[in-house]
Structure 1
């Protein structure tokens, strides 16, 4: 019998940080758990990423209420993953915003992703009984849209495929701050199981072209200052490349998934083994890289059953 996923044994509560990344802009972080962004406008508040459950969302709301009593009017979801979206109901927002592609992925694979992630991350789904069902947007966009929180302008846009096909980023021009979702991480492994390795570096370059003064990443500490932003973008690009290139070499010579796994470990362990959720992400990253290197452009849907089959193959 295959051993458990690394994340299944991770049951310790994480220490929360609430960091100002610009005037009226905050990053809610928790030692490598999914981050949430907060954008305070003149009249109301926008939340970026909802958390996995209403229980976790209420921790974000507590932090929001420590700095403002303005109502939460918008929730923006950068992609469809369950750990990002299923806490949305707690905010009582009038608008829930996703890209068209992310919204389509909710319908295509949202329930399967929920079932899969529920099995992988038991700690994050404590209190799951409160989740009312799949989170669907009230508003979608194709390439970009602008929301005004009073006078504060917020641009929501797609800059390319990376962590998923439907990734969105949120840009606050008055402070030159970006909320990137899981396109950028900081001292946390990238989850690439639904990713696009070939596109990811260009998408990172598109983010860098904005020259953000700060970034609230998908996981890890808030990135305050241009030096920290540049380092995190470069490190994320290195992680993605270091995962894909060894797999591509194995596939080119007709090697197996297990050989790809060994090659990625040899390349990535020395650089990234101490990163948050590294051991959890690794099998999913190798499996997706193996598919992409074989010409499978659309990531296959993860289900609880497929998770186990893949893990058993890698343990064999």
Structure 2
């Protein structure tokens, strides 16, 4: 069991991959670090996820420029977390799009999340001095929005609560490819600290109903082909349920958070211990599952101080 806080000691650079998962659709992946997506339209480009800093965002832009010189016109942020949004200024995109729920979460907890995530995973904030402030969208939507990149149609949708309450997926119908953000992960632990465990599996099934040709997940390799897509959806659901169910049983009998942690590890360690950021996520996941099992529907705001108090209590 790790004693160092979250991923504070993870300073190993990851190998970047940039792979085409459909016609003019690209997945930027980095061995379990946050992914980005690229959609090249007839006359411009949409990028999904900004990365945590402008410096890291420029690594995505460099890959985009290797395959097209079309301007980046749209930046879509699937949710509010700092590691996904704070690099937005590097793109200089005319439109920055979030769900209205995600924007409200920036206002409610964006500053606290920034400070919290910076302490948890400093490597992901390389070049943080360039961040001009919180990232705010220029455009929001409630349930569904369609963007045309020339003749190429891109559908943005809220399919349900999962990783956060404001999660967005991005679907490209002409190739039947979806960018899911952290609703779907591949051989990476799900971060559930701001999640909704009881809603998450139903949201995954809504994604499954598209019978997708490929998915660019939030973390991990791109998923190409129906077999890989469906396996990742099933595995993500298993991770979420395997985390929540033992914690909920402990909470139902009035057990402590530490007992919930032990019960969760007994179920999850044999299946997921080798997943990227597993040890990083587990304490936050257990704390949120414990709250949800006790009827706390809205995730409590994580702060740097709350992080450390929880971590120390569970790690001993």
TM-score normalised by L of structure 1: 0.99
Give every structure 1 segment of 4 or more consecutive aligned residues whose post-TM-superposition deviation is greater than 3 Å: none
1:288 aligns with 2:288: yes
Write the distance in 1 (CA, Å) between the matches of 2:63 and 2:115: 29
Structure 1: where are the runs of 5+ without partners? Answer: none
1:184 is matched with: 184
Q: Is 1:3 equivalent to 2:7 in the alignment?
A: no
Match of 1:103 in 2: 103
Secondary structure class of the residue paired with 2:7: helix
User: For 1:86-235, what aligned pairs fall within 5 Å after superposition?
Assistant: 86-235=86-235
Query: What's the offset of the Cα at 1:6?
Result: 3.8
Unpaired segments ≥5 residues, structure 2: none
Cα deviation, residue 239, structure 1 = 0.1
Distance 1:52 1:12 in 2: 16
Cα distance in 2 between the residues matched to 1:260 and 1:73: 46
- Residues of 2 paired with 1:277 and 1:261: CA distance? 17
What is the match of residue 305 of structure 1?
Answer: 305
* 1:33 has 2:58 as partner: no
Write the distance in 1 (CA, Å) between the matches of 2:103 and 2:6.
Answer: 29
Query: What displacement does 1:5 show?
Result: 1.9
* 1:294 shift after superposition: 0.4
Helix, strand or coil at the partner of 2:244: helix
**Residue in 2 aligned with 1:240?**
240
Mapped contact 2:5–2:308 kept (Cα < 8 A): no
Residue deviations 1:223-245, cap 9 Å, x none? 01110000000000000000000
Q: CA deviation at 1:3?
A: 3.4
Once residues 189 and 122 of structure 1 are traced to their aligned partners in structure 2, the CA distance between those partners, rounded to angstroms, is: 18
Q: For the residues of structure 1 that align with 2:150 and 2:72, how far apart are their CA atoms?
A: 13
Question: CA offset at residue 312 of structure 1?
Answer: 1.4
RMSD between superposed Cα atoms in Å: 0.8
Q: Give the alignment's TM-score, normalised by structure 2.
A: 0.99
Give distance in 1, aligned partners of 2:267 and 2:315.
Answer: 19
